[in-house]
Amino acid sequence: MRGYTVKEYDKSNISQLVWPDNYDADYCRNFIVPMMEEGADKYVANVRPDVTVVKILHIIPEMSFEDDAKHSSPDEVVVPITVNIQEQYESYNCYTASPYHHYISYGLAEAEANPLHYTLKLLIRTIAAVIAFFFRFTNLEKVVIVNNWLVSTNLYSNFNSDQIEAITTFLCAKYPSHAIIYRSINEAITKDLYQRFSNLNFLPIPSRSIYTSDSRDPKLWRVRNVKQDIDLTNRTCVIGPITQGQELGEKKYEILQHKYLKELTTDQEGKISADHPIVLRIVELYNYLYLNKYPDLNVQFTPAFVADSLQNNILNVEAIRNISTNSIDGVVGFYRRVYYPYNEQEQEWEYDKKRTVQTCPIFGYDISFNVDSHPMYKILSVISALDGKNKDVIINQSSGAAQFKRFRGCKGCIEYSCIYESHLPIMRRVPWRILYLASEYIAKPIVKYYKL
């Protein structure tokens, strides 16, 4: 076993953290430190956990943790964790921080929204009521979520078994009454990580159905619907900025790529205000799709989050502007992480097999338009897909719009939350086991049968 040590940093000592010199660490610092210092709900309105970071370091012989400033290793990892410090049954209800609202509130909302048989819906309501009682009675909201970025899909660079054991040992000692959770684990992209959690006695609880697509697969780009969507985008969109006198033909929309969008929103002092009209419009479009059309349990991004995403390149944000009306009609914001497979037998990272993974936390358009005559969803999907194609990425398409994604060559799989609860008292563990059985043997078959 390789030796790893773990140290946690919060807003009181974050200035003491020696950040590794790599992209992931820089990304974590830009994304998470503002949440630590100013509160997560400034950026995601419907969450209020404590946000900290843990540093996992491979310690070589005769070296202490305090020596890490002198040590550079690919085994250095800094990841955010969220610690639930209050009940989240009321206004702070986002499923990214709350297992109760993920499995109970959100699950019920999805069941009601889908065309399931009445008897099946009644069964789901009954089971959910039983689990909900246990959740409340045994305080299962007391959780620590590792690598939690408070977005719909957490991306991973990976953990080996020794790192997971080191993190688990540390968190069990620091938070003995909290369950430990890793969200967004699946067998399509993080298969080796899923197996690792299973081997280490984590409980893999199915959480939702997601879709993935591999931009390196030539068959993907030969799918008829994909070709039609690309043709639609090429016919109707032009990449900005549009120059004076430029011939536009039948082009209706201007694509505002991230760099140009950043220029449009930056003031003379080099800052991007949360009150900028474009920033506010991006939030409005996101809300149209995720908070108006779908349950309000979804992530409620604030203008401060969008401004920070543009300012510090947290997300690659691109917008679609209507040339005739000058209004922004659609927006997509995505981020990427490099996933490194790990060979447990050889105890080495397989850098030659690394893959970049992309997902879109922000996606929005004005749903008052008829989607057939104003197919903004298709255009936004093409923008994300083509950008991913240029980087040879695997796209985690997340959940929702299942038929749309299947008809465009995406493959479905089940996403899991891997739970460690072995250190908890038996009464705290029973509800997790009930939830596992209900999710694995009832919810999962339903999702697969109805292709949700």
What's residue 335's pLDDT? Answer: 97
Does position 175 have pLDDT exceeding 80, yes or no?
yes
- pLDDT at 73 (0 to 100): 46
pLDDT at 13 exceeding the cut of 70: yes
Weakest-pLDDT range from 173-182, 204-213, 340-349: 340-349
Could you identify the residue written with the tokens 């909900």? 132
Question: How many angstroms separate the CA atoms of 26 and 450, rounded?
Answer: 42
Percent of the chain with pLDDT over 70: 92
Cα Rg, the chain, nearest whole Å: 22
The identity of residue 154, as a single letter, is N
Gap between the Cα atoms of 160 and 124, Å rounded: 37
In 14-67, beta strands by DSSP E: 50-58
Q: Given this model, what pLDDT does residue 446 score?
A: 83
Query: Confidence band (pLDDT; 50, 70, 90) for 138?
Result: confident
Per DSSP, the three-state class of 424 is coil
Please report the pLDDT score of residue 68 as a whole number.
39
Nearest CA to 319 among 257, 362, 371, 366? Answer: 257
Strands (E), 140-291: 143-146, 179-186, 203-214, 237-239, 253-256
Residue 236 CB coordination number (10 Å): 16
pLDDT score of 240: 94
| pTM assigned to the model | 0.93
Confidence of residue 32 (pLDDT cuts 50, 70, 90): very high
The whole-number average pLDDT for the span 132-143 is 85
Beta strands at 355-365 and 394-396: parallel, antiparallel or unpaired: parallel
Pairwise pLDDT comparison (81 vs 75), residue with the higher score: 81
| Greatest mean pLDDT among 110-124, 137-151, 269-283 | 269-283
Could you tell me how many helices (H) and strands (E) the chain has, helices first? Answer: 14, 15
Classify residue 59 by its DSSP letter. Answer: P
**Calpha distance 117→123 (Å, rounded):** 10
Looking at residues 364-383, what average pLDDT do you find?
A: 81
pLDDT of 90 above 70: no
- Write down the pLDDT at residue 14: 97
The answer for residues whose C-beta is within 8 angstroms of residue 434's C-beta and 6 or more apart is 130, 131, 134
Name the CATH code of domain 220-413 (choices 3.10.310.30, 3.40.630.30, 3.20.20.10, 3.40.50.970): 3.40.630.30
